[in-house]
Amino acid sequence: MDDVIVVEKVSKVYASERGPVHAIDRFSMKVKEGDFVAIVGPSGCGKTTLLWGLTGLHPFNGGKAYILGEEVGKPRKDVGIIFQQANLLPWRNILQNVLFPLEVMKENTADHEGRVKDLLESVELTGFENHFPRELSGGMQQRVSIVRALSYDPKVLLMDEPFGALDAYTRDEMDTLLLGIWKKTGKTIAFVTHRIEEAVYLANRVYVMTPRPGTNSALFDIDLPRPRPEGITMEQKYFEIVAEIKKRIVKDVEKQKEEGVYQSQAYSTVT
């Protein structure tokens, strides 16, 4: 399989009132076609900054990133983005929200009706097409955001902690739903999360970032069966992988503190 996402020693520095904030430092990553990769690390390490850089919305200051062989420079049609919040337009019903990106792209929405209908059915939203966002739960709103991102059939999905605001039960449901969509569509997914348990459950590989400025710490190949068996999160091997990744993150934090370079991870830019 070819590498669909290639990140080569990218860096990002934000300007702030208190001086420059070095968010990412020479971070590298590769994601093969159809792969599911997760990125984890301590709060404020630059996970979200990395994903926003890959969207083309917040260009990197150094290094280069490529998607499907083309250098990242601006938002593109073959890359779908799912944010931490659903960000649905409150004055539009669900179907209108899903079709909105197609309208922006000046596509004939009628040509996509069959696909959108199938997508809504796949996330159990059939019958809610005419409802408004305020009438849906948080989990249902995030399902809409997933369908919206898939409506124009992108080859790559960038997901920034999309289920972080949901309750534990709904989040687990959404994780399982996402795996079903990934299996069915074969999309290439880069998934940012602060929950190591979620990363291990979902991904084939997990990149670990150091505390800010985020750089490469470790790469874990997740040796768990596909499709994930029911109850896999209660098995010893799963717990061992989660514990190993947690141990790595704690070690990185302690190392920075010993060296006197550990920074407070709270700051007001994209992290």
For residues 47 and 164, what is the distance between their CA atoms, to the nearest angstrom?
14
- pLDDT tens for 127-164 read 999 999 999 998 899 989 999 999 888 999 999 998 88
Instruction: Tell me the mean pLDDT in the region 98-122.
Output: 86
User: Does residue 49 lie in a domain region?
Assistant: yes
Average pLDDT of the chain, as a whole number:
89
User: Does residue 179 lie in a domain region?
Assistant: no
Range of the domain at 120: 81-153
User: Does residue 271 lie in a domain region?
Assistant: no
- pLDDT tens for 45-78 read 899 999 999 998 888 999 999 999 999 988 888 9
Residues 55 and 88 in one domain: no
Confidence of residue 104 (pLDDT cuts 50, 70, 90): confident
Confidence of residue 265 (pLDDT cuts 50, 70, 90): low
User: Does residue 178 lie in a domain region?
Assistant: no
- pLDDT tens for 182-241 read 999 999 999 999 999 999 999 999 999 999 899 999 999 999 999 998 899 999 999 999
In this prediction, residue 190 carries a pLDDT of 97
Judge whether 227 and 179 are in contact, CB under 8 Å.
Answer: yes
pTM of the shown model: 0.90
- Supply the CATH number for residue 27's domain: 3.40.50.300
> Which residue among 95, 129, 153 closes a domain?
153
Confidence of residue 268 (pLDDT cuts 50, 70, 90): very low
Find tokens 């944010």 and name the residue. 83
| Bridge partners, residue 163, by sequence | none
CB burial of 115-137 (b: ≥16 within 10 Å; e: otherwise) equals ebeebbebbebeebeeebbeebe
Is 60 exceeded by the pLDDT of residue 264? no
Residues 193 and 71 in one domain: yes
Pairing of strands 156-160, 79-82: parallel
131 Cβ contact partners less than 8 Å away, ≥ 6 residues apart: 93, 94
